[in-house]
Every structure is written in structure tokens, then in C-alpha cells.
Amino acid sequence: MCTYLTEQIQITGSGKGATGWFALSDASVYFDHPVHAMADHTLNIDFLNPRQGPSARVAVELTAESARALAKAIEAALASVPPGMLA
């Protein structure tokens, strides 16, 4: 078995998949064996819209170090936004 804790959240936004842009409604975040990345385990994020079917998915597989760096970068970017813009 190769599945560990999965965080599933609802999100609002858009992603670009194999057939173009689509609205996102869900995301899964989990640490597991990757499909493509050259690592035994990676932090994987699936950006999804299940109502549009299983192919409405944008997937990323990041090393743990990369995932932590990404999380910090997201927080830093949001922290730098001028007051009033985060409606």
C-alpha cells in the first residue's frame, strides 16, 4: 500500500489542464509515491473539478523540501499584498 494521510479541501479558482482552463472546486494534498517525479515519495497536490470528470485535474509532485518552500512562498506572497486587496 502506498497511500498516506490525505487532506481534501474545497477551493475556488481556475487551473489549466490538458484541454485548457477550467474552474477548480477541490484539492487533494497527500504524501505518496509519485507517478513521474524521480523520488520515492513526494508531496502531491491534485487541483480538481470532479463535476467535470476525472480528467479535470492539474497535478503536481514536489519533493518535501520543495513543497515546504512553496508553502512559504505562498504565505510570503499573500503577506505582501497591500491591505484591502484580500477581499
Partner 1 sequence: MNEALTAETISINGYGGDEIEAYLARPMGDGPFGSVVVIHHMPGYDSGTKEITRKFAAHGYAALMPNLHHRDAPGASPDDAAAASRASGGVPDDRLVGDVGAAAGYLRALPGANGKAGVIGYCSGGRQSFLAACSLQLDAAVDCYGACIVNPPPEGMPMKVQPIVGLSKDLSCPLLGLFGADDKFPAPAETAELSRVLDDLGKEHEFHTYDGTGHSFFTTDRAAYRVEAANDGWAKIWDFYGRYLAG
Q: Report yes or no: 46 and 58 within 8 Å, Cβ to Cβ.
A: yes
Regarding 6 and contact with partner 1 (CB under 8 A), the answer is yes
Separation between Cα atoms, residue 83 and residue 69, nearest integer Å:
24
Which residue, 45, 37, 42, is CA-closest to 65?
42
Site for partner 1 in 39-58 (CB under 8 A): 39-40, 46, 48, 50, 53-55, 57
CB atoms within 10 A of CB 66: 15
Regarding 14 and contact with partner 1 (CB under 8 A), the answer is no
Query: Could you give the residue ranges of the DSSP H alpha helices within the chain?
Result: 64-79
Regarding 59 and contact with partner 1 (CB under 8 A), the answer is yes
State which residue, 50 or 73, has the beta carbon closest to partner 1.
50
Distance in Å, CB of 57 to partner 1, minimum: 5
The residues binding partner 1 (CB under 8 A) are: 1-6, 8, 28, 33-35, 37-40, 46, 48, 50, 53-55, 57, 59
